[in-house]
């Protein structure tokens, strides 16, 4: 087993996970998902990590599932297919459900499972040479890692169906136009843009950020009355922390300096 298929590092509150199979365009294997699960848990439990960045080595974020898995493992033993898909879904769900926010730094090709992995992040920043798509139907299968569910929530049902049913590949500017990514930047500015966004988020109250993320995510799952009650409870938690007073003073000082 190659322990370097995924690399984890942390610096100044930012945890960074890098998919590290550049020659294979960071195609996703069972080992990749096992390491991702390990590092998602590590991120969730490490108090020094305030925000997570997910990216890929080389010229791809991820080209999606390694199709050699289908030939050598799953198609030869279809009884393994359902537990395999559920395992991968569970790993990606961990990224979305963790309280700490995440940013996908999409540095190139993001297809199939690569797009689905990016969709599970809270914010997506892409280099101008990035490409996106869910081409599974072209191979007679469907997106099964959450892309068919998360994409409509991000870009709307009509645009999501078009991408899912045609398997079309879109460039970074089109992804920005339809709202799939938050920002597109030149390739050599991607790291700085991601760090700037991460630092901006980390300046805010960590409890409020975490609860804000969770309330926003839940707004798709429950009725308005229920989510408003969640918001009341979340706000009560925020007000009872020390963040409110300290951040208010910090904000006032910043305003005074800017005048």
Question: Model confidence at 69, in pLDDT bands (50, 70, 90)?
Answer: low
pLDDT number for residue 72: 55
Sign (positive or negative) of CA dihedral 50, 56, 60, 62: negative
Model confidence band, residue 111 (pLDDT cutoffs 50, 70, 90): very high
Contact between 53 and 11 under an 8 Å Cβ cutoff? The reply is no
pLDDT at 84 over 90: no
CATH superfamily to which 6-202 belongs: 2-enoyl-CoA Hydratase; Chain A, domain 1 (3.90.226.10)
- Annotated catalytic sites, by residue? 116, 136
User: What pTM does this model have?
Assistant: 0.92
pLDDT at 70: 59
**E strand map for the chain:** 6-11, 14-19, 51-56, 60-62, 102-106, 109-111, 123-127, 131-133, 169-171, 183-185
Average pLDDT in the chain = 92
Per-residue pLDDT tens digits for 121-178:
999 999 999 999 999 999 999 999 999 999 999 999 999 999 999 999 999 999 999 9
pLDDT category of residue 238 using cuts at 50, 70 and 90: confident
Stretch 28-41: mean pLDDT: 95
Residue 27 pLDDT level (bands cut at 50, 70, 90): very high
């Amino acid at each position: 087993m190659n322990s370097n298929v995924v690399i984890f590092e942390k610096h100044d509150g930012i945890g960074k996970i890098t998919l590290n199979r550049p020659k294979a365009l960071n195609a996703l294997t069972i080992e990749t998902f096992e390491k991702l699960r390990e590092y998602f848990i590590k991120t969730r439990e490490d108090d020094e990590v305030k925000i997570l960045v997910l990216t890929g080595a080389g010229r791809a974020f991820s080209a999606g599932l390694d199709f050699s898995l289908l030939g050598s493992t799953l198609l030869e033993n279809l009884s393994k297919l359902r537990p395999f898909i559920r395992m991968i879904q569970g790993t990606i769900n961990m990224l979305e459900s963790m309280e700490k926010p995440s940013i996908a730094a999409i540095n190139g090709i993001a297809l199939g499972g690569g797009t689905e992995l990016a969709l599970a992040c809270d914010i997506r920043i892409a280099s101008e040479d990035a490409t996106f798509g869910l081409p599974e139907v072209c191979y007679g299968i469907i997106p099964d890692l959450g892309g068919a569910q998360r994409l409509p929530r991000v870009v709307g049902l009509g645009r999501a169906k078009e991408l899912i049913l045609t398997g079309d590949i879109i460039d970074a500017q089109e992804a920005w136009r339809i709202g799939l990514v938050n920002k597109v930047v030149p390739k050599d500015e991607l790291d700085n843009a991601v760090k700037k966004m991460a630092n901006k988020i980390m300046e805010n109250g960590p409890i409020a950020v975490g609860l804000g993320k969770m309330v926003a995510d839940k707004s798709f799952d429950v009725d308005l009355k229920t989510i408003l009650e969640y918001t009341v409870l979340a706000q009560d938690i925020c007000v009872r922390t020390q963040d409110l007073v300290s951040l208010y003073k910090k904000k006032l000082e910043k305003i005074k300096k800017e005048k």
